[in-house]
Amino acid sequence: MNKDESTPRKMFDFRKKPMQSADDAAAKNPKTERREKFYADIREGETLLDITDLRIVFKTDEKEIVAVDSFTLSVKKGELISIIGPSGCGKTTILRAIAGLIEPTGGSIRIGGNECKGPGSDRGMIFQDFALFPWRTVRKNVEFGMEIAGIPKEERSERAERYIKLVGLDKFKDARVHELSGGMKQRVGIARAFVNHPEVTLMDEPFGALDAQTRNIMQAQLLRILQNTEQTIIFVTHSVDEALFLSDRVVMLTKRPARINRIIEVPWPRPRDRSDHDFVEMRKAILDELEKENVMN
């Protein structure tokens, strides 16, 4: 895994709900307590997520569609992995399976050795369409998951403030969603996911709806967050440029059913120069290979 060696790596309203103590919350969520202690034993660079022989089949009255087949991938703690492939090949399907939103037809998904069965607090998801609550402020959007988890108000506020500042929205923490630009909305989504301290964050083309300039700014913002947190990220994108700029490794998929075509180790430390000759050559080589898998052919 390539890291910048200079970087220290280190619709419900619950306001009327009685405040819980930290001990009460832990007592009601003992599995979460054990999970956090167990995963803390996994060091950065060690395997955190294991996907083995994943197979996903969608059935209709008339036929079966094999969306993903024989997909096997190990992800290390602290890695940013990008998944790219032809349009419609099954990238988002894989992400939703890891999130527990789709039940695999076969194979297994394990985090820290524990099999993933349905959604869980050890995984966070960031969507392309923001998925924010428009009647809530930035702060209240970021706090939402912590409210559900029963985290005390004081801790919720402290954590939300910290992550809102980390994504550069501290001056907009009391703003409503409709007052924000697209890039600012996506930063709220990132803060809302990361504030819950998931073991794995799943990002489904999070910058795909943004203009080119804002997209580049958001990529730089994500790298800044990586420098200040211990995040493990699986990032789905159609952009080869984005994948090479952000990732430790790039997973290339075949056309449907999705299988791994090849895995590319990105050899350069961050930050990266998109105009560098080697960067441009690798981008071209990946684009040429993806063209061979184009579903239109």
According to DSSP, the residues that pair with 265 across neighbouring strands are 249
According to DSSP, the residues that pair with 78 across neighbouring strands are none
Fold observed for domain 22-292 = Rossmann fold (3.40.50)
CA dist 78 and 3 (Å) reads 10
CA dist 27 and 18 (Å) reads 16
CA dist 189 and 167 (Å) reads 10
The residue whose two tokens read 């430790």 is 248
73 or 3, greater pLDDT = 73
By C-alpha distance, which of 195, 273, 286, 193 is closest to 237? 286
By C-alpha distance, which of 141, 76, 77, 148 is closest to 119? 148
According to DSSP, the residues that pair with 106 across neighbouring strands are 55
241: confidence class by pLDDT, cuts 50, 70, 90: very high
Of 17-31, 132-146, 200-214, the range with the lowest mean pLDDT is: 17-31
Of 71-75, 133-137, 278-282, the range with the lowest mean pLDDT is: 133-137
The per-residue pLDDT of the chain, averaged, comes to: 85
235: confidence class by pLDDT, cuts 50, 70, 90: very high
Mean pLDDT of 123-144: 90
pLDDT in tens, 149-179: 889 999 999 999 999 998 889 999 999 988 9
Q: What is the pLDDT of residue 35?
A: 41
pTM, to two decimals: 0.82
The residue whose two tokens read 């789709």 is 102
Contacts of 26 (CB under 8 A, 6+ apart): 32, 33
Q: What is the pLDDT of residue 243?
A: 97
**% of the chain exceeding 70 in pLDDT:** 86
Domain spans in the chain, listed from the N-terminal domain onward: 22-292
Name the range with the highest mean pLDDT among 17-31, 163-177, 216-230, 283-297: 163-177
pLDDT in tens, 179-205: 999 889 989 999 999 998 899 999 999
Q: What is the pLDDT of residue 246?
A: 96
Instruction: Give, in order, the Cα–Cα distances in Å from 292 to each of 100, 254, 296.
Output: 31, 9, 10
Mean pLDDT of 236-262: 95
Q: What is the pLDDT of residue 295?
A: 54
Instruction: Dump strand ranges (E) for the chain.
Output: 47-59, 64-76, 80-84, 106-111, 114-115, 123-126, 200-204, 233-236, 249-253, 260-265
- What one-character-per-residue DSSP string does 177-193 give? GGGS-HHHHHHHHHHHH
Whether 101 has a pLDDT exceeding 70, the answer reads yes
Whether 269 has a pLDDT exceeding 60, the answer reads yes
225: confidence class by pLDDT, cuts 50, 70, 90: confident
Q: What is the pLDDT of residue 5?
A: 42
Whether 207 has a pLDDT exceeding 50, the answer reads yes
165 or 34, greater pLDDT = 165
10: confidence class by pLDDT, cuts 50, 70, 90: very low
Which pair of tokens denotes residue 200? 């794995």
